[in-house]
Structure 1
Amino acid sequence: MRRKSSLLLLSSAALATVLMFGTVANAATAEAKPAVKDTVTFGPGNVKTFSGAFLAARTADVDHDYDTAIALYRKALAFDPANLEIRERLMISLLLNGDFDQGLTEANALKDDTAVERITKIVRGLDALRDKKFDIAKKVLAYEGPNDLDRLTHQLLSAWADVGAGKGKQAMASINNLKGPPWYKVFTDYHLGAMALVTGDIGTARQHLNTAVTNKEAVATAPDTFMRAVMALARLEAAAGNKQKALDAISVGDGMVSNYAPLKALRQSIEKGEKPQQQVSNAAEGAAGVLFSIGGALNRQGAEDMVSLYLQISHALDVKSADTLILLGGIAEKLKQPDRAIKFYASVPADSPMRRISELQLGVTLSDTGKVNEAKQHLKSLIESDPSDIRSYIAYGSVLSDAKDYKTMAETYDKAAEVIGPVPKPGDWTIFFQRGIAYERLKNWEKAEPSFRKSLELNPEQPQVLNYLGYSLVDMNKNLDEGLGMIKRAVDARPDDGYIVDSLGWAYFRMGKFDDAVTELERAVQLRAGDSTINDHLGDSYWRVGRKLEAVYQWNRALISEGEDINREQIKEKIEKGLPPLDPNATTADRSPSEPVAPAPPAPANPDKKS
């Protein structure tokens, strides 16, 4: 974990000055602030001032609306052609939008601008490498600075330029001699193996790829690069006629990263006796792989711009790279740009082993755009094309859950369970969990409970299942001690999950332990601010301990907070009248029979969907 954080901090230091607006913000200070109507409502053709163009461009940039931002930055440059800060941001927006050649034009114009040289050097160097001008590429990519991440990136790119120039041994020697922190090895092992493959040195390739695949740290630091190494090794062994060794390599990958879609397709191909081609076959694809490796390792919440920049440049050099397109699609989803994500998923080549996963993601994302019927038809057709692919049922079930079509959802997971057969694997816990949710929402507990318990049997400490089942048991006044114990185990596993902490607080409330309920629900509100259900629960708990003004405040908060499962009329009645008196003759969860039953905990997101 520490290595992940260190890598991210290194990247932030390298790119912060050019991916943030701080340096650009001063550009408009000399201008009077334009009206909001001028900056936001009007498009590029309606903007009449430099400050209007700049501020509107910045708004579009923050919203990741690159097409609009590009047009407005160009509009601002028409007012002030010499403004370097605006031109820097224009270049970055072009690259983030996938317009590599136009971004290259700006990079050449800014090649002497030290504020963006980290970007311009990579763009210019990769353009030369793409054009097979390997000596020029190596000269442009030379780096002698102190930044560990930059040194690794430039050295790997320079080495691929040497490979392109026919200097494979020199390239590999430069990587072997590269000094740096321990996390370098994740990247150097894979790229040394890939370089050896391109140069035809199979023995050396096998050696480095085996080292990469057996590196346990690699999965935590750079899982996407690790999986590339696994697949490269499997393809190598398959091509050499070593079918079992190829399958063994895939099994290692399966053991480290479960349910990785391309491995299933690769396994099927090798089991048929096929010899799949290597993903990297030349220097340009190898260099693209460098930026994919770094971008994939940096793919964390809040780093979307940096990751997109690396991946878009990588895509320009290797347009058929399916894993790059999948990652770009996932980032677009995180940025709430489903239409953009769909374009990335649809661009995955039809013959790629990742085509299936891109189709599944496309279907789920269609639902996010409101095209629910289209999403359903798309995913149903995928199930029909391969009824044995369990991921298809999960994706379809996710769309049905969002549409609250629990009857069809239950039927879908029943079919998935039939496909799995009488001996499910540990990884199948999701199927039974989602089936349990569907039947619980249909108020068919006789079918829901066995599914939840089967899910726990397959994955005994899965916090989502523990939380959902424990919460349901407590709320129905069944097996209270067992239910509370499950929720406590879920909290131990995810102490910072506001929903799970809320479940513990509500369990205490239902058991009449109101002081304990307040303690946990106050923590849940801090962890998950603005959730209406948690605010409602805390209001109920405050009322029971005599903190009635605070209770009314929390109920009012619930009315204005996010949430679909609350009964607003019921909350308004509580604000007006409070909670009814407790029944002194009842015990545990029966103490307050007239109080509302809490909604079930939120159904988890589709486990296969990238976030």
Structure 2
Amino acid sequence: MLFAAPASAARLITYRPSAMTLFAGARAAELRGDSRRAASLYASLAAADPSNKVVADRAVGQAIASGDMALALRLIGKRAPVTLAVDARLLLAADALRGRRPEQAVQILQLDAPSGSLKFLAQPVLAWTLIERRDPRAQQAIDAIPAESVASPLRVELGAFALLAQRNTAAADVLARRAIDAGGGRAIALRLAFADAFLKAGDQARALALLDTAEPAVRRARALVAAGRRPGTGIETAAQGLALILDALALDLNRESGQSLPIVLTQIARFADPDNDYHRILSGSLMSQADRADDALAALRTIDDRSVYASQAHDAEVNALTKANRKPEALARAQAFAQARDADYTDWGRLADALDASDRQADAASAYARAIALLPADLPNAWQFYLLHGAMLERSGRWDQARVSLEKARALAPQSPTVLNYLGYAQLERGENLDAAEALISEAHRLSPDDASITDSLGWAQFKRGKLSEAIKTLTEAATKDATEAEIHEHLGDALYSAGRRFEARNSWNAALVVADDKGRARIQSKLQSGLGATNAAK
């Protein structure tokens, strides 16, 4: 060492980022979806300048988005609720409900705040506080939800829960089924919640009758209910009720905007009802859609393998890795799930999907075969596994074996348009049994006339049979139904070219070229250059 710097010099050269640098870093983290980092940086800024409301709100918002509710509540501190952003007030309401302070929660939701109104939630939450207490006045609170309110669709499910709290299972059954039918993405969660409530109310028969679908979570819950055990999916408290409502809002907003608010809502739902794994699955799925794969995985991996939602959690994890283009990891996780001691048909089906995504169709066929060997005898959707097994065999060049599985799928689901179309089209491609192939596709089209891919199959069958004018009409209809499918436009172009309508054919091929994959693009480009021939015709 040539010389030693004095302590004062060391203090002089210590780097301290400026407020502008911190804000820029926080904003950059926020934009790339790193809410945890953004919350930390905004919190530092808020501590240095407590009067800056913009920074304070961003700090709270990013803390909520990251799921760090302890930090969010600490940042909120003693601020007046009326000064807070919408997400912060929702968190305060959830915290009040968790702390058994329902009156405070309702007051927070009823505030006229500059950042936006949450009044539409006040009446449903009030209803839930009465349901929790088994107060018969709950129905009056439900009836008081205005018909024009955003919350009005919730009246049916609230009514069912209110009746179940009073052990009126016969009347609740009608409303519960209506709520499930209208539940959309929450249908499984509602089904399990109602089944839990029916069993608690002493009506095991109605609980079992609700659990009649092929979904793995439902089947797991049914086994528990059949043994007289509650599946642990009940909604009984106002905090849990708010969480279920927030899930509904998140799904609606995600369908319309796909922005960050749906994730925030599911994070608050997780806070309000931390023991319900459905909130974790929904939150993880939305974070995966928003390209927050690591956050999604962190949420999904908190779900225990003993949970009724374990299979859905494993599906969501593999899907999140696949979407993030981490296919080797996705395949490794799917293999691990399939190799577990208690692996079932869902685990092998998931592995088959991952193998297919990795372009390993022969291995996928083997995995589907393992899944089929483990299928429960009463599984209503068993035909789907035979269809997928046949599809993997067909794509890996084993048509004779594929046809056996496809015929089995047809025997199990003779009215499935998907099965009829696949079996018919596969024969059409090979020039086999053309009369029967066209009949299968025609029946599929009759059963599902609005399906563009099936309409395309019918048009292509007509083209293969020499029915040129019919084919052009049908393929034009298919292209109108789905303008984004390359194969439909290519088929239409081939039919138009064969009819001598060369200019229109080029238009269709150009439309196909925009959305075609690499293999299809080369074939279409050759047609645009030299016309349709035996070597570049679509199949």
TM-score normalised to structure 1 length: 0.70
Distance 2:19 2:464 in 1: 59
Distance 2:142 2:236 in 1: 21
Indicate the SS of the match to 2:359: coil
Distance 2:472 2:29 in 1: 41
Instruction: Give the letter for the 2:91 counterpart.
Output: V
Please tell me whether residue 172 in structure 1 is matched to residue 172 in structure 2.
no
Instruction: Give the letter for the 2:207 counterpart.
Output: A
Indicate the SS of the match to 2:381: helix
Alignment match of 1:158 (pick from 105, 126, 147): 126
Q: How does 1:170-209 map to 2 (within 5 A)?
A: 172=138, 174-175=140-141, 177-181=143-147, 183-192=153-162, 196=165, 204=166, 206-207=167-168
Paired position in structure 1 for 2:13: none
Is the contact made by 1:484 and 1:504 (CA closer than 8 Å) also made in structure 2? yes
Paired position in structure 1 for 2:96: 128
How much does 1:238 deviate? 5.5
How much does 1:345 deviate? 1.4
Please tell me whether residue 456 in structure 1 is matched to residue 447 in structure 2.
no
Paired position in structure 2 for 1:436: 390
Indicate the SS of the match to 2:500: coil
Instruction: Give the letter for the 1:125 counterpart.
Output: A
Alignment match of 1:548 (pick from 502, 516, 519): 502
Which runs of 5 or more residues in structure 2 are unaligned?
1-16
Alignment match of 1:348 (pick from 298, 303, 315): 303
Q: How does 1:149-548 map to 2 (within 5 A)?
A: 153-161=121-129, 168-169=134-135, 172=138, 174-175=140-141, 177-181=143-147, 183-192=153-162, 196=165, 204=166, 206-207=167-168, 211-212=172-173, 215-222=176-183, 227-228=188-189, 230-232=191-193, 234-235=195-196, 245-246=203-204, 248-254=206-212, 258-272=213-227, 274=229, 276-277=231-232, 279-280=234-235, 282-292=237-247, 294-295=249-250, 300=255, 302=257, 305=260, 307-385=262-340, 389-420=344-375, 425-548=379-502
Paired position in structure 1 for 2:67: 98
> Measured at CA, do residues 551 and 574 of structure 1 come closer, stay the same or move farther in structure 2, by a change above 3 Å?
same
How much does 1:403 deviate? 1.3
How much does 1:252 deviate? 2.4
Instruction: Give the letter for the 1:98 counterpart.
Output: G
Alignment match of 2:108 (pick from 121, 124, 140): 140
Indicate the SS of the match to 2:168: helix
Distance 2:27 2:289 in 1: 21
Paired position in structure 2 for 1:585: none
Paired position in structure 1 for 2:9: none
Indicate the SS of the match to 1:385: coil
How much does 1:411 deviate? 1.4
Distance 1:401 1:457 in 2: 25
Distance 1:73 1:491 in 2: 57
Distance 2:101 2:386 in 1: 56
Distance 1:271 1:153 in 2: 36
Is the contact made by 1:108 and 1:124 (CA closer than 8 Å) also made in structure 2? no
Indicate the SS of the match to 2:374: helix
Indicate the SS of the match to 2:520: coil
Indicate the SS of the match to 2:466: coil
Distance 1:46 1:144 in 2: 36
> Measured at CA, do residues 470 and 496 of structure 1 come closer, stay the same or move farther in structure 2, by a change above 3 Å?
same
How much does 1:305 deviate? 4.6
How many correspondences in the alignment?
515
Indicate the SS of the match to 1:140: helix
How much does 1:391 deviate? 1.6
Distance 1:340 1:174 in 2: 41
Instruction: Output one character per residue of 1:216-258: Cα deviation in whole Å (capped at 9) or x when no partner.
Output: 4222212566645543554456568x6xx5365233231xxx2
Alignment match of 2:526 (pick from 561, 569, 573): 573
Indicate the SS of the match to 1:311: helix
Which runs of 5 or more residues in structure 1 are unaligned?
1-44, 197-203, 581-592, 599-611
> Measured at CA, do residues 133 and 211 of structure 1 come closer, stay the same or move farther in structure 2, by a change above 3 Å?
closer
Is the contact made by 1:91 and 1:107 (CA closer than 8 Å) also made in structure 2? no
Is the contact made by 2:283 and 2:299 (CA closer than 8 Å) also made in structure 1? yes
> Measured at CA, do residues 543 and 69 of structure 1 come closer, stay the same or move farther in structure 2, by a change above 3 Å?
farther
Higher relative contact order (CA 8 A, sep 6+): 1
Is the contact made by 1:189 and 1:209 (CA closer than 8 Å) also made in structure 2? no
Instruction: Give the letter for the 2:67 counterpart.
Output: G
Paired position in structure 2 for 1:200: none
Indicate the SS of the match to 1:546: coil
Is the contact made by 1:329 and 1:341 (CA closer than 8 Å) also made in structure 2? yes
Alignment match of 2:537 (pick from 586, 593, 596): 596
Distance 1:434 1:412 in 2: 10
How much does 1:407 deviate? 1.4
Distance 1:126 1:370 in 2: 36
Q: Percent identity?
A: 23
Paired position in structure 2 for 1:28: none
Indicate the SS of the match to 2:144: coil
Is the contact made by 2:224 and 2:230 (CA closer than 8 Å) also made in structure 1? yes
> Measured at CA, do residues 310 and 368 of structure 1 come closer, stay the same or move farther in structure 2, by a change above 3 Å?
closer
Instruction: Output one character per residue of 1:126-164: Cα deviation in whole Å (capped at 9) or x when no partner.
Output: 23233344432232233799xxx9666322323445678
Is the contact made by 2:196 and 2:231 (CA closer than 8 Å) also made in structure 1? yes
Indicate the SS of the match to 1:156: helix
> Measured at CA, do residues 101 and 59 of structure 1 come closer, stay the same or move farther in structure 2, by a change above 3 Å?
closer
> Measured at CA, do residues 324 and 413 of structure 1 come closer, stay the same or move farther in structure 2, by a change above 3 Å?
same
> Measured at CA, do residues 445 and 47 of structure 1 come closer, stay the same or move farther in structure 2, by a change above 3 Å?
farther
How much does 1:430 deviate? 0.8
How much does 1:397 deviate? 1.2
Indicate the SS of the match to 1:443: coil
Instruction: Give the letter for the 1:544 counterpart.
Output: S
Distance 1:575 1:275 in 2: 64
How much does 1:168 deviate? 4.8
Is the contact made by 2:128 and 2:138 (CA closer than 8 Å) also made in structure 1? no
Distance 2:156 2:224 in 1: 27
Instruction: Give the letter for the 2:105 counterpart.
Output: A
315-324 vs 457-466, which deviates more? 457-466
Distance 2:302 2:391 in 1: 34
Indicate the SS of the match to 2:495: helix
Distance 1:429 1:389 in 2: 17
How much does 1:100 deviate? 3.8
How much does 1:190 deviate? 4.2
Indicate the SS of the match to 1:420: coil
Distance 2:145 2:126 in 1: 15
How much does 1:431 deviate? 0.5
